Amino acid sequence: MKNVLKHSILFLFLALLTLAPSRGFAQDEEQPKKEKFDAKSFIFGHTGDSYCFHITEIHEHPVCVWLPVIVKCKDGGGWHCFSSKHVCELKEGETFSHKGANFFIEPISADKYPGKLVEVKADGGISRPFDISFTKNAFGIFLVCAFLLAFFLPAAKKYKKDPMAKPTKYQGLVEWLTYTVLDGIIRPNIPEKKVKKFAPYLLTVFFFIFFANLFGLIPFFPFSANVTGNLSITVVLALLTYFFVNVFGNKHYWKDILWPDVPIFLKAFPLMPIIELISTITKPFALMVRLFANILAGHIVIMVLMALIFIIGGMYGAGMGGVMSIVSIFMTIFMTVLELLVAYIQAYVFTILSSLFIGMAQHEPEHE
């Protein structure tokens, strides 16, 4: 237990060094006035999406992994592709020119397009180009997908090659993880004859969310992307569940929505069908918001605890900052352990609700 605590403290200390804001530890001797710590940029800069992986800073020079920027200008100019280094290192008021177009990234504190790449128009205004850049979250999605393929495919190939062979420990682990979800979540909620049809999607979405949550808690490259804490990603996951529920719903499911078994005076005015149709939208909406809000909130709490070190240090001096760092590190360890539990719970909740909604759309009417 002591070794676990020791390694946890070391891990959080290294994370603190990695996530430290610019000039957070050292100041130029020739600069008498310290730069004010921007808590909003620090917190949302690490929990939001970005065009690069910020690793640390050495003598005020950022050490980053630069990702490709791919945009199409609205006012002509066609497609532009360049390294995010050109726009991430710009100082305030500077722009990067590429093929006649000027770009810069709006600061996190901006009211419009915070943290997004914008184009400077001819009249001096700004606009958002069509942006399909390979951002931090996009990299995180590909990383999770690559891990899942590398983890599950070798075991599947071994089973396919010799189904009767004695499974290895690795195959046993994969089988245990798969059947935990299949028997514990999917089968109790979906009719047995439909399990084979929907199990691939539900297994995929569970492990994608679970490992994306875990990778998001590791504050080092190539991890740290807050994938499921991004609303656009949870929207896509919720829409996939919406598709499987409503496209593959049977006749009985649609009959209960459009022509429910209610008194005739309720059918004269289609109040119940309207309510039921609205419910088909509120279900995926709840899936989307629950996953997004819980994951983002956990990341924000951890970043707030780290930001308190620099806020207290700036207000009351290095001594109080050191005391606060000890408190923050222990609280961050507690929150990180709690987030490990949340990573599983949110994957479990999203999958069990998805399987429940799909199962409700597959049940046949009961006959006496």
- What are the pLDDT digits (tens) for 121-163? 888 889 999 999 999 999 999 999 999 999 999 998 988 888 8
- What are the pLDDT digits (tens) for 47-56? 889 999 988 8
- Better pLDDT: 146 or 317: 146
Q: What is the mean pLDDT of residues 238-260?
A: 91
- Better pLDDT: 180 or 319: 180
Q: Which one, of 282, 287, 156, lies nearest residue 209 by Cα? A: 287
Q: Which one, of 247, 328, 255, lies nearest residue 284 by Cα? A: 247
Q: What is the mean pLDDT of residues 218-231?
A: 91
Task: Quote the tokens at residue 123.
Answer: 């009249």
Query: Are the C-beta atoms of 216 and 229 separated by less than 8 Å?
Result: yes
Against a cut of 0.85, is the pTM above it?
yes
Domain ranges in the chain? 62-131, 136-360
Q: Does 23 score more than 50 pLDDT?
A: no
Q: Enumerate residues 6+ apart whose C-beta is below 8 A from 29.
A: none
CA distances from 131 to 27, 52, 224 (A): 37, 15, 22
For residue 275, give the 3-state DSSP assignment.
helix
For the chain, the distance separating the N- and C-terminal CA atoms, rounded to the nearest angstrom, is: 59
Q: Does 291 score more than 80 pLDDT?
A: yes
Residue with tokens 């004859």: 193
- Give the pLDDT of residue 128: 93
List the single range of 187-201, 316-330, 332-346 with lowest mean pLDDT: 316-330
Q: Which one, of 261, 248, 140, lies nearest residue 197 by Cα? A: 248
What confidence category does residue 3 fall into, taking pLDDT thresholds of 50, 70 and 90? low
> Cβ atoms within 10 A of the Cβ of 47, count?
19
- Give the pLDDT of residue 76: 64
- Give the pLDDT of residue 190: 95
Rg over CA atoms, the chain: 25
Query: Are the C-beta atoms of 192 and 360 separated by less than 8 Å?
Result: no
